[in-house]
Each structure stands twice: as C-alpha cells, then as structure tokens.
Structure 1
Amino acid sequence: MNIHEYQAKELLARFGVAVQPGAIAFNPEQAVYAATQLGGWHWAVKAQIHAGARGKAGGIKLCKTYQEVRQAAEELIGRRLVTTQTGPDGQPIQRVYIEVADPFERELYLGYVVDRKEERIRVIASRHGGMDIEEIVKTDPNAILQVVVEPAVGLQAFQARELAFQLGLNIKQVSRAVTTILGAYRAFRDCDASMLEINPLVVTADDRVLALDAKMSFDDNALFRRPNIAAMFDPQQQDPREAQAAEHNLNYIGLEGEIGCIVNGAGLAMATMDMIKHAGGSPANFLDVGGGASPDRVATAFRLVLSDSNVKSILVNIFAGINRCDWVAQGVVQACKQIDIKVPLVVRLAGTNVEEGRKIIAESGINIIGAETLAEAADKAVAACRGTIAAPVSIH
C-alpha cells in the first residue's frame, strides 16, 4: 500500500525526522489560506499522487506570491498527472501540499528497502539526490552507499555516523543527519514499511538536514496491526478494477495486453503470462482467484477481466489442488450465463475433480475452446485473439 507525501512526512516527523512546515489543500482557496498560515516568502505547491518523478512532469510548482499559489493549485487540482512512474493514463490530483520553500545548498538521497535475498533491511544513500538520481545511478554506480542492518540489534548510531560522513557532511550536519537516518529507520521498521525513499534529503545553509520529499510503501499483510496506516489509504489513486478485486479477495493487476487471464495461484498466473508471451501474445492482466475459487468469485473475476475494453480473448487456467475443478467449472458456467461474454473463451482444467469439471462445462451448452496443456491453452488464446480460430468448440 502506498501513501501520499504529506502522510509520509507526518509519520517521519513522529520519529524525529525534520521536515518543512506544510499543509494540505483540496481547492485554490485552501491553498492560499495554507500559504498565509505557514508564513515565509516562497512556497512549493506539490501535487499529491502515489508516484514519483512529479517535478519533471510539472507536478511541483515554486511560488513567490499568494496569487501564484492560487494559480498553481488551479492548474494542478482536478487534472491527471502523467509521470515516468504512472503509465500513460497518469493519476488524478485531488489535493496539493503547500510547503515553505527555503533555499538549500545540497541534495542527498536516502532510502530503505527490504532485501529479500539477504533477509535484511538495506539502507541506501548517495551524495547525489534530486530528479536525476536514476541517471546518476546508471552512470556512476560507485556513488551509491549501502548498509545492511543486522535485525538482532537494528541500525546502530555508529553506522549512521559513518554513512553521514561518507555523504560529505560537516560535524554539525552529521549530528542532525544521524537523527534523520535513525529516525527514518525506526519509522520503516515500526510501521512495517516495505520501502521508504527520501529524495531529496537537503542540507541548508544553516546546517539543517530536512526531508524535502518522502515516499513510503507498506506491507499489505501487516496492515491488520497498523490501523492508523491502513486509514491513510487513498482508493482514488488505485485502479478501480484493483479496488474491486480487493473487495472480493482477488489479486488483480491491470496490464496493457489483449488476453485476459483468470488463474488460481500467483505462480501459475505468472507462468500463464509467460506462456502467452512465448506464444506471441500479450496478457491484459494478472488475476489470481486464489485457492478457494467459489462460483461467485470466478464470476466476479470474469467481470473484472471484461471491464477492460482491450481484452479480445480470455484464458482460464486452473490447476486444482486445494481448489476443485467442478467448483471452477460452475463459476465459468455461471459467469457465461450472467455476463454477455462476446470474446472467445479458452479453458484449461487440471487436477482435483477435473473430469467432473469438464462434464459440467460440456453439458452446459456453452461454446468454449478446450485445452489439455498450458502451452496448448496459450496458443489457442493467442489464435482466438487474432481471429484465426473461426468458432469455439465445446470442451471435452
């Protein structure tokens, strides 16, 4: 789960990380009022979306007057911002963050991720921060500093000091940077975060070290014990299909292909997508109906897949273990009767009660393209998408 910048800064501030004064606004009038209350002579008006690279996309505007603040808010609120991280459709801007914009002398980078190979938290830092960090990493990998945290003792003060000195900070700045590095680590650990990025971490002329931007993601499986973080979720930043899938305990991710996928099991879903690509097609989605795929859930899965206008064929690939093929077959039949499915449908069933499942579909009178293996199913789904299979045949 992702949260907005202003929410991430609120969390970081609770752990001692220094941030600039700021306020959220949902319309231009609130933006101007926030600027007057914050004081100062310069302000940054920042679009709040669940994606980075906002600066290059025009999502951050520096203002010197209240009129400029109003104009910036009018230009941002209500539009969709397209960045290198959002995809071509962008994300909607429904609020902006007004922040005091003080001058700074240096931009640094600070990040925390879960290194799954090492089973440790990895701290990543660089003397170079800001909008060009991705390019810097490619051209100068040695500019990246890393610390792997031992979970038994956590990030130690001496490790934070070494990192601060490697960033080229002076004595006064090092002390404040250590507070920031340790505070951000505690926020990452105690909030069950999966990613924390402060870019840029800036150093001012009076030796302050400030988190000028913040981006946080959290482990969905831990949200049950973090209700305060779960409450920060903004469903309007999520694909509506993914939100609908979550309500039915389905795992759905929309893609840009033409072959809809309905599969049980994340690994099998990935293999199905790979086979579609191998057959020359392109998957329209990742959809895992899980181990307990009841007829209602399968019907819901069909609705999700068909809500994508790009879908030209559907591949149902079920390998039943905990699940049962007859349950899935009932769901397929129910979906076909309830929903007007106008695209070719390929079904491959294997595993528990497979014969019963195939019998249910065969006796339903519904035209379905049958397949025995995953490779065959992928080939037929691609052919159906391209219109080279003239008419579906009943599964046998």
Structure 2
Amino acid sequence: MNIHEYQAKQLLSQYGVAVPPGDVCSTADEAKAIAEKLFAKGEKLVVVKSQIHAGGRGKGTFKSGFQGGVKLCKTADDVFEKAKAMLGQVLVTKQTGPEGRLVSKLLVAAAPAIKKELYLAVLLDRASSRPLVMVSTEGGVDIEEVAEKTPEKIVKETIDPAVGMMPYQARKLAAALGIKGDLINPAAKLLMGVYRTWWECDAAMVEINPLCIIEGPDGKDTIVAVDAKVGMDDNALYRHKNVQEMRDLAEEAPLEIEASKFNLNYIKLDGSIACLVNGAGLAMATMDIIQHFGGNPANFLDVGGGASKEQVTAAFKIILSDPHVKGILVNIFGGIMDCNVIATGIVAAVRETGLKLPLVVRLEGNNVEAGKKTLKESGLTIISGDSMSDAAQKVVKAVGK
C-alpha cells in the first residue's frame, strides 16, 4: 500500500525526522491560509505540491493545460491561484500514464533554501535477507539513473535486524554523504529516525529524495527530508490501524480494490488475454509465455495457494469487468491446492457470469484427474491445455492474436 507524501512526512516526524513545516489541504482557501501562517513565521518561499501516488509531479502537465504539479510561490495570493489551478484537475506524469490522476489534495509547505541535495532509502535486501540503508550524494535524481551512470556514488550499509541500526553506522553513512562537523550528529539522528520509521511501521520501502542540507533560520546548516515516499507491506497492515486509515482508495484502480476484498493479487495491464493463476512466479511465467506466442496479457492475477470456489468466481467477475479482455487462460498447478476445487469454481463462475469469451484451462498436480473430469462433464465450452505452452498457444489463437 502506498501513502501520500504528506502522510509519509507525518510518519517520519513521529520518529524524529526533520521535515519542512506545512499542512495538507483540499481547497484553495485552505491553501492560502496555510501559506499565510508560514509567511508570518518568516518563511520566504512556499511550495504547493500535488498529492498523488506518482512521481514526476513537478514536470507533469494537467489536462487543463496548466504546467507542473509542484509550484514555488512568494505570496499567499500566488499560492491561492496555483492551488485553484491544480485542485480538481487531472495531472499526467511519466508514472501515471496518459490517463493521469485527479488531484484532490495539496501539500503546502515551507520551501527552504537548499544548499545540497542527497538521497536516502531503506528497504529489504533480498540477497542478504536483511535491512539495507542506501545513500548517495546524487539527490534529486532517479536512483535508477544514478545506478546506471555512476554506481560508485551509491553507498550501502546492511543492518543486523537483531540490534537495529547502530549510531556508528549512521555516522558512517553521514560521512559517506560528505557531511562534516556540527552537522554529523543531526544527520545521524535523521538517518536512525528514517530507519526506525521503516522498521516500526513495517514499511516495504522508505525513500527520501531529496534529503537536503539547508540553511536554517539562524543561518546554520541543518538537514531535512524535503520529499518522502513510503510504501507499506500489505501483509503487516493488520498491525497498524493508523496506517490502514491512510489508504486512499481514489488512488487505486477500482478492479484492484475489488480484488483486495477477496484477498486476490490483481494488477490490470493493457492486453487482451486475461490470466487466472495460482502463485506469483507461475503468474509471471504465464504472462511471459502469452507474450512469447504473440499475445498480450490483460492482467496479473494470483489467486494464491489455497483459493476457494468463491475466490475463483470473484476472480472471473473481476476479469470480465475489463472491457479489453477477449480471452481467458486459467493456469493452475495444484500443490497445496486441489485442482478439483478450482475446476468446480471455474464451472460455477462460467455459469454465473454467462461467459461467452474463449476459455482455456490448464490443470496439473493435486487431484488433477477429478478436476479435468469436472470440466469435461460440465457441458461448457472449455478448451483444455495439455501443457503451459499448449494452453498459451491455444488462447492466443482463440483471440486472434
């Protein structure tokens, strides 16, 4: 689950991470009021940031023609005008796709005088099965670009989960960022706060880009998280009611929301061949083999290792809600799962939905003969696939691609 930037900063500040002062709003009048308070406290510049679950907001374009989802303002009146131009409008960025995202909230915050932009992230290193803190002096740039062009500028520190991030590790990373003198301790404190946010909130990733060295009100350098992105581990959300309440359904695809109600892992794609598979690895392989034989997958859909008849029926309904779907491939390997349970679910789903599209089913594994018998005796038009390759070729041929 993703959360908005303003929500990420709320979490970070709870763990002692310095963030620029500001607040979230949903009207232009509220934006102006927040700006007036910030200017009254001595801020010289205020930033208005569109709150959507996508990057590239500053370089984005609204469908109204207004350029940029992030704007710097010198007066409260300017904040009002920029907020009015953004709210209720659809912002298109490199990450949203051409459909864009509706902007219904804005973050209005102080825009400090930035002296240097840095990068910081905490995530799970799957190679070592340990937390990983990653920093770079190349802040404000996509980390993928840094990794490709100047990988030596990315410094990594593996954390022992039994003891957590140690102060010496935080100071080591601060030094790697070129931070010296009186700024070392505040930087180490911030680094440990970001790690604690990741650990205690069960986050999948916390990314601060840019992490900035700024000139404080007293003229001294300080370090703050100017931007923040936090992705939560869905499997741990039950432990964090406060984080669950941050979920913004308006930012999620309706079919993905519906799938989550039945504990189905569904992601909509642009193709015409729908997939219903058990297991994420098999689902990825199924999409690959459809592509290999000239088709285009319409979705990623993993029903899990122990899907019920009700889940299979729900999965079919979700698939058929996509108007681009022209055929369906069911690819099931029954390890834990009983193939006959899936077959029964398929038959029930086809009858309940009145399916008219080509349906290819490949079953293998636990109780497969009973499953195939159930499909055969159903009297329904179901194409049987003898192998994954055979099933993929048959569904591609059936949809005419």
- CA displacement at 1:323 relative to structure 2: 2.5
Distance 2:161 2:142 in 1: 32
Report what 2:64 is aligned to. none
In the alignment, does 2:182 pair up with 1:172?
yes
Other-structure match for 1:55:
58
- Measured at CA, do residues 256 and 244 of structure 1 come closer, stay the same or move farther in structure 2, by a change above 3 Å? same
Q: 1:199 aligns with which of 193, 209, 214?
A: 209
Counterpart of 1:324 in structure 2 is 338
Secondary structure, in 3 states, of the residue corresponding to 1:204? strand
Find the counterpart in structure 2 of residue 315 from structure 1.
329
Identity %, equivalent residues: 49
Matches within 5 A, 1:128-139: 128-131=138-141, 133-139=143-149
Q: Give, in whole Å, the separation in 1 of the partners of 2:179 and 2:310.
A: 59
Q: Which residue of 2 is the match for residue 301 of structure 1? A: 315
Q: What CA deviation, in whole Å up to 9, does each residue of 1:328-370 have, x standing for no partner? A: 2222222222224332111122233333333333333321212
| 8 A Cα contact 1:199 1:212, kept in partner | yes
Q: After the TM superposition, which residues 347-366 of structure 1 pair with which residues of structure 2 at under 5 Å, given as runs?
A: 347-366=361-380
Superposed CA offset, 1:249-279 (max 9, x none)? 1111112222100112222222222221222
Q: Aligned equivalents of 2:158 and 2:372: distance in 1?
A: 52
CA–CA distance in structure 2, aligned partners of residues 132 and 289 of structure 1? 33
SS at match of 1:228: helix
Q: CA deviation at 1:326?
A: 2.7
- Given candidates 160, 163, 169, the residue that maps to 1:153 is 163
Conservation of the 8 A alpha-carbon contact between 1:53 and 1:131: no
Q: Deviations over 1:44-87 (max 9, x none)?
A: 11111122222222221111222221222222222333323333
In the alignment, is residue 216 of structure 1 matched against residue 267 of structure 2? no
Distance in 1, Cα, partners of 2:246 & 2:380: 45
* Structure 1 unaligned regions, length at least 5: 388-396
1:96 positional shift? 0.6
Distance 1:377 1:62, change over 3 A: same
Instruction: Find runs of 4+ consecutive structure 1 residues off by over 3 angstroms.
Output: 131-137
Deviation larger for 353-362 or 146-155:
353-362
Structure 1 residues 329-338 or 203-212, which shifts more? 329-338
Contact 1:56 1:131 in 2 (8 A): no
Task: Work out whether residues 114 and 121 of structure 1, in 8 Å CA contact, stay in contact via their aligned partners in 2.
Answer: yes
Question: Which residue number in structure 1 is paired with residue 84 of structure 2?
Answer: 74
Aligned CA distance change for structure 1 residues 370 and 133 (closer, same or farther; 3 Å): closer
Cα offset, 1:212, TM superposition: 0.3
- Give the match for residue 16 of structure 1: 16
Over the residues paired in the alignment, what is the CA RMSD in angstroms?
A: 1.8
Q: CA deviation at 1:132?
A: 5.4
Contact 1:23 1:98 in 2 (8 A): yes
Alignment of 1:91-106 (within 5 A): 91-106=101-116
* Alignment correspondent of 2:291: 277
SS of the aligned residue for 1:87 comes to: coil
Taking structure 1 as reference, are residues 344 and 151 closer, same or farther at Cα in structure 2, changes over 3 Å only? Answer: same
Q: 1:390 maps to what in 2?
A: none
Q: Are 1:27 and 2:27 an aligned pair?
A: yes
Aligned length: 387
Give 1:112 deviation, angstroms. 0.9
1:5 paired to 2:5: yes
After TM superposition, give the deviation of residue 133 of structure 1 in Å.
Answer: 4.8
Shift of 1:35: 1.3
Deviation at 1:219?
1.4
Would you say the 8 A contact 1:55–1:131 is kept in 2?
no
Q: Report which stretch shifted further, 30-39 or 94-103.
A: 30-39
Corresponding residue of 1:120:
130
Q: Render the CA deviation track for 1:276-300: whole Å, top value 9, x for unaligned.
A: 1222222111111223333322121
Residue 21 of structure 1 deviates from its aligned partner by: 0.7
Q: AA paired with 2:47? A: A
Point out where structure 2 has 5 or more consecutive residues left out of the alignment.
61-67
1:195-244 per-position Cα deviation (integer Å, ceiling 9, x unaligned) = 11111111113201011011111211111112221221112111111111
Question: Out of 256, 262, 269, which is 1:248 matched to?
Answer: 262
